[in-house]
Structure 1
Amino acid sequence: MAPDDRRASLIAATVPLLHECGLDVSTRQIARAAGVAEGTIFGVFPDKGSLVVAALMHALDPRPTVDAIAAIDPGAGLRDRLARAATLINERFSANAHLMAGARRLLFASDAHPDAAARMAEGRERLHSALAALIEPDAALLRRPPGTVARLLLLFCGANSFGPFGDPARFDGDEMVSLLLDGLLVTHRTDRRGDDRC
């Protein structure tokens, strides 16, 4: 097997183990899952940490979510587009919550992996930009710029998945968008300045 193929195979075998065992996964577990001898790992990666970081970067790559946001029907109303995007982001954050926490601990607690930390930051920016682009066609309906609205929705989604209060009740995409666009005050639908596009 070519080194690039072996590298990809080891990363693919490591990702499910990170979900199951966290950062404490052993090279023996990885080798068994990949169907290779443990020494094979060190022919491709200099150490276990490098493999774990590569697997984290693969698992946390925002491309599938960014692509799914870009595929949302631009003809749908703002409220519907945002609810679909919030659902996608919630799914991503919830599925990877413990991996994101582990990545932050591993990548930002020291300067040991600056390239990976930069990739994480770039991935967050790609997600933010995709969301801002989804909002942009209806910028005139909003009191804040699309980038700010996108950041607020990401904050809502982040708190929904990583919030410190341990509340088992999670908001779905529709409810989060309602909170973002309508706030918490009870109003009649006609009070929303006659906005039928939202």
Structure 2
Amino acid sequence: MSPEQRREMIVAAALPLVAEQGAAVTTSQIARAAGIGEGTIFRVFADKDELLDACMAEAMNPGHVLRELASISLDDPLDARLVQAAEALRAHTDRIGTVIGALHASGHRRPRGNGDRPAPDGRRASMDATLDAVRELIEPDRAALRPSPETLASVFLGMVSNRYHLVAGESRTPLEEIVDILLHGAFKAPENAAT
């Protein structure tokens, strides 16, 4: 196994523990979960902080959600595709929040050196890739839509992402309701309209 593959395996084993315990997780617990000796961790990570940072980076990695979005069948109706997309995005956001929240709550506030900083355009590239993946889910219905798939994807992502900025204790708007309002509007159908 290459050092990079070993790092990935250790991070995959560590992530659930980090989400649960934050920085309080021990390298011994991580080694047990990975089925390796504790010393093996330090052959591919300089220290525990580097491992925790790798776990945070993996939780934030957009590759997972992009693969989930790409796996949604274009044969499903548009509303079903968008609900599935919203569920994938919610899971991704929840995963990030759980890992970062656990690390922060347990005191992990490692100062970053200049070499540790993410590329300035990394977040923008991630957002653009997500927008493009959602646009691809909408594209088959282009002829039936008033706005372009690009515009609808942007509005959809705005509606779904704003759903997560609620005060603790408030209930979240159901994803199906967000998609229904996006696709069908907020007005009731006129009583004399044919159904």
TM range, smaller chain:
0.7 to 0.9
Residue 24 of structure 1: CA displacement?
Answer: 5.0
Residues 1:164 and 1:47: Cα distance change in structure 2 (over 3 Å) = same
Residues 1:106 and 1:176: Cα distance change in structure 2 (over 3 Å) = farther
1:71 to 2:82 alignment: no
Partner of 2:125: 122
**Structure 1, unpaired ranges of 5+:** none
Partner of 1:180: 182
The equivalent position to 2:158 in structure 1, one of 145, 155, 160, is 155
Residue 39 of structure 1: CA displacement?
Answer: 4.1
**Structure 2, unpaired ranges of 5+:** none
Structure 2 matches for 1:100-111, cutoff 5 A? none
Partner of 2:19: 19
Residue 7 of structure 1: CA displacement?
Answer: 1.7
Structure 2 matches for 1:4-43, cutoff 5 A? 4-23=4-23, 25-43=25-43
Q: State the alpha-carbon separation in 1 of the partners of residues 191 and 96 from structure 2.
A: 36
Q: 1:93·1:157 contact (CA, 8 Å) conserved in 2? A: no
Partner of 1:165: 167
TM-score w.r.t. length of structure 2: 0.72
Q: What's the C-alpha RMSD, in Å, of the aligned pairs? A: 3.8
Partner of 2:149: 146
Q: 1:17·1:30 contact (CA, 8 Å) conserved in 2? A: yes
Q: State the alpha-carbon separation in 2 of the partners of residues 42 and 84 from structure 1.
A: 40
Q: State the alpha-carbon separation in 2 of the partners of residues 168 and 21 from structure 1.
A: 25
Residues 1:9 and 1:117: Cα distance change in structure 2 (over 3 Å) = farther
1:59 to 2:54 alignment: no
Deviation per CA, 1:74-117, whole angstroms, max 9, x where unpaired?
2333223222222332233234432366799979x885533477
Q: 2:17·2:30 contact (CA, 8 Å) conserved in 1? A: yes
Q: State the alpha-carbon separation in 2 of the partners of residues 139 and 48 from structure 1.
A: 49
Partner of 1:136: 139
Amino acid at match of 1:69: L
Structure 2 SS opposite 1:169: coil
Amino acid at match of 1:155: G
**Identity of paired residues, percent?**
31
Q: 2:83·2:175 contact (CA, 8 Å) conserved in 1? A: yes
